Amino acid sequence: MPIPQHLPTPRELDDLELLLNGALAPRTGFDPVGPVTLALPDGVADAARQAGAVELTDAEGTPLARVAADGTVTALAPQDARPFRRLYRAPTEVRTESSGGPAYVVRGAPTADDLALLDGPATLLVLCGHGTPVGLSPVGLLRVCVTAVRDRDDISVVAVPLADHGDAAVDEELAVRVAGAYADDVRALPGTGPLTDEVAAAVALDRPPRDEQGLVVLFTGLSGSGKSTLARALHDLVVEDGRRTVTSLDGDVVRRHLSAGLGFSREDRETNIRRIGWVAAEIARHRGLAICSPIAPFAQTRADVRGYVEDAGGAYFCVHVATPLEECERRDRKGLYAKARAGEIPDFTGISSPYEEPVDADVRVDTTGRSVEDALGDVLDGLASAGLLDLRPHPEES
């Protein structure tokens, strides 16, 4: 029975690294119940039970570790391709090489007061796991810390990939345990006062102003609700405005190219939306603007898209085009509802396949009885008040 392979989540990959480098000692493996857990999809879990182990890989498929049935991990290869790799050192290494002095736990940009406190040899234990840094990306926090102590030979920066496990108390307890593996004298920085100019510039590099951030606008709603019409109108306004580049990822169009061959089963729809989300997130990474207009009927898949975009440093803006089914069916532009009612199209959203209404939409717009300009106005107002994009007409133009 071959050992199955699995790509863990970013949080699990961070936990794996800490398990392997000894920072979570005496833990040597994943726990069956929180916080350091490993969730395997059903198929992989079955195969792992039969084979007695599972191999965890990185995104490129390189096996990183083998996990035995009891959760114990054995290293196969280091996670070595990443920015600031040199800063990711094991606790034993840090203890051996330490030039003395306390270790300070860092979760956010060090202030001028923090830096003034470092008056002798010291180590910055930078908690840069997935979701942990405050107001910065993991790599952004490392860049900020390296910048902050650039002229200080007596300060060493250590990257500690402790991820956010979604419970502040649990994460605090883990942070204490993990920091204690690296040093005996662990302290907190006060975090008070302003940033130095140099640190502020490094923060700005990682966190551009909202209106310069990458942006993904996702229009979601039933077929015929008005997603494509509104998305197209928004697209055209962005092009007319000229300040930003824009890519349109329309549901029908994506299905002819990126998702050609996929159907409308739950699984295929999830694949379709994740592909759209992945491409949109890459666009956002480069501070571009992506306008997506698939039905995107499932809450979890939309949440995944939000995650991809935010991990790429972009802003996610969800527009629920909440035109009721009756109105969509009355419009029936493509004659699909009639066919779905006649049983000629299976799994049709709203008829024979579910649509999970978003509870996290930034704008909800029912287009019934409204002009496109009017409905689009709601979207423009929402984008502008979120500070993301102001395309509202100037008073003299309206």
Binding site for ligand PPS (CB under 6 A): 223-224, 228, 251-252, 255, 264, 269, 272-273, 294-297, 334, 336, 345, 347-349, 353
C-alpha span between 203 and 133 (Å, rounded): 12
Q: Between residue 118 and residue 147, which ones bind ligand ADP under the rule CB under 6 A?
A: none
Site for ligand ADP in 268-327 (CB under 6 A): 293
In what side-by-side order are the strands of the sheet with 315-321? 246-250, 289-293, 215-220, 315-321, 363-365
What single-letter amino acid sits at 141? L
Neighbours of 333 (CB within 10 A): 11
Specify the residue, 85 or 333, whose C-beta has the smaller distance to ligand ADP.
333
Q: What is the residue whose two structure tokens read 């972009």?
A: 314
| Contacts of 227 by beta carbon, 8 Å cutoff, 6+ apart | 219, 220, 221, 251, 293, 294, 295, 321
Which option in ligand PPS, ligand ADP, none does residue 302 bind, with CB closer than 5 to 8 A by kind?
A: none
- Using the CB atoms, write b or e for 353-386: b if 16+ within 10 Å: bebeebeebbbebbbbeeeeeebbebbbebbeeb
- Residue 267 interface partner, choices ligand ADP, ligand PPS, none, CB cut-off 5-8 Å depending on type: none
Q: How far is the CB of 12 from ligand ADP (least distance, A)?
A: 36
Contact of residue 371 among ligand PPS, ligand ADP, none (CB under 5-8 Å per partner type): ligand ADP
| Interface with ligand ADP (CB under 6 A), residue from 39, 77, 81, 372 | 372
The entry of ligand PPS, ligand ADP, none near residue 367 (CB within 5 to 8 angstroms by kind) is ligand ADP
Nearer to ligand ADP, 88 or 355 (CB): 355
Alpha-carbon span 198 to 232, nearest angstrom: 42
Binding mask 209-248 for ligand ADP (x = CB under 6 A): ------------x-xxxxxxxx------------------
Min separation Cβ 257 and ligand ADP, Å = 17
Please provide the size of the chain in residues: 398
Cβ neighbours of residue 282 under 8 Å, at least 6 residues apart?
312
Asked if 293 and 231 touch (Cβ cutoff 8 Å), the reply is yes
Contacts to ligand ADP by CB under 6 A: 221, 223-230, 293, 331, 333, 367, 370-372, 375
